[in-house]
Chains A and B, each alone.
Chain A
């Protein structure tokens, strides 16, 4: 396979969990809520996937990942919607809690110094021959990538063309007016947060079941925070968000390209790239695109 092809394939593969998490966060932010605990949702999903897969194959892994992700999201909803706490502080604390809990539980479930845990990964599908250049690279992916391909246009249609999607818009722009128009504001908010939990959990599952094949403490490595940046970059539009996430996969996959080209770049500097790219992209976009008017404001 050519270097370009394997680069595109790696870019899409690493971009997939980012895209899943960012698409979920798009829904949450449309409702005017910023969920920093997305990072915690992803690590919870990754841990759930590892536990579920060691008990009941990959299907069990994906299922338990969704449960774990929704659990974190439900806590976030309970605090920010029911108790109306500050979203940033709540999200930061929940991320700390999820990182600590999964770290501690991983030691007691999988053993502290035991053998490295190996989990059977879901392999890529291969609907077209490898030789089909870009299309081959785009389609030679595990099924969560296909979920991204399907969800991005579906969510776009839902957000911009359905009554419920526009109601979510209205809540993010002006909750009082939405309330007056007869929209069940808090029910939509909680629904969006829980949907974000499903997607964040799936993102964590993808890390474990389609990529790493193991669980490592802190393996989410800031992807939740990157996903929040990606939502801004994609201008809160599911199609833009999915595109931006795949672009970010590219920034991470650059290391494979460097290796292939025989460039001697220090790996710490390469690992910095996705974070720097997020910052640079945010600087280019943030001021020029307007997010939901009440984003992040305490409810």
Chain B
């Protein structure tokens, strides 16, 4: 463990931390802007040019609001809930390969914080942890609405993690690795996994909507029935932490989908571009391409949110257990048969 290694990792962590925070903050603005555009409005446009400083204003408002901790709540858990939600949503980005290795002063610097060989499993673990933040917060609030929201969140996550995992198995049969870095490298050029796993991607997409608690699966925070769902009792910055965690989860889910199915930092003609621009600018362009894919997914999340109404709870469970799980299993079987046939040919 040399000094340069530690410095480069710390720099990378800092950069990714800042990028995640910025993206999450501006997602809130983008959400309101896109909601406006889809409804023939213009969205927030008063704070700064075109509303550019709206996230700052919102953040300040969150900070300066009074923090209310209900008397009958369990205080430690009440604080732990949003902290855990925020913490786990930051963890996932550690194994996302943000670009190819860049060369600084003769050193190969990896644009991935850590390349653990079970990267996909790590992400699944972290994402499932995220529901604990919601459950603990909902339980600690000592409020029936919060508890209902937390229960819904828990059962929804468990139901949709099964088809999520099953859709990934079909992908892993194709890639033969769990390392995010290797999966990204296999999709060189335009050899993206989406062309081999369209059904798997569709299942993964639907499940990630459910995992991030976004409409049409936002029953844990269903305003019409549960006031505010699991964050009914939260105010001020703790409420902000929950909201931030939601947008960070969306960012992470978009990054995972781009990496697993849409070729991560790969794009057609990348070899030519890398030769022309060198070993520093080239990978950075790749990183920009990945960011573009992530933004496209975030837009999709918002586009769907402002189009579709919320599912009813029984519809949600029917979709998860009776449709997505059989589809995912069928997808595994078909993938297995096709792989075997191609091997025998």
**Chain A bound to chain B:** no
Residues of chain A having any CB pair with chain B under 8 Å? none
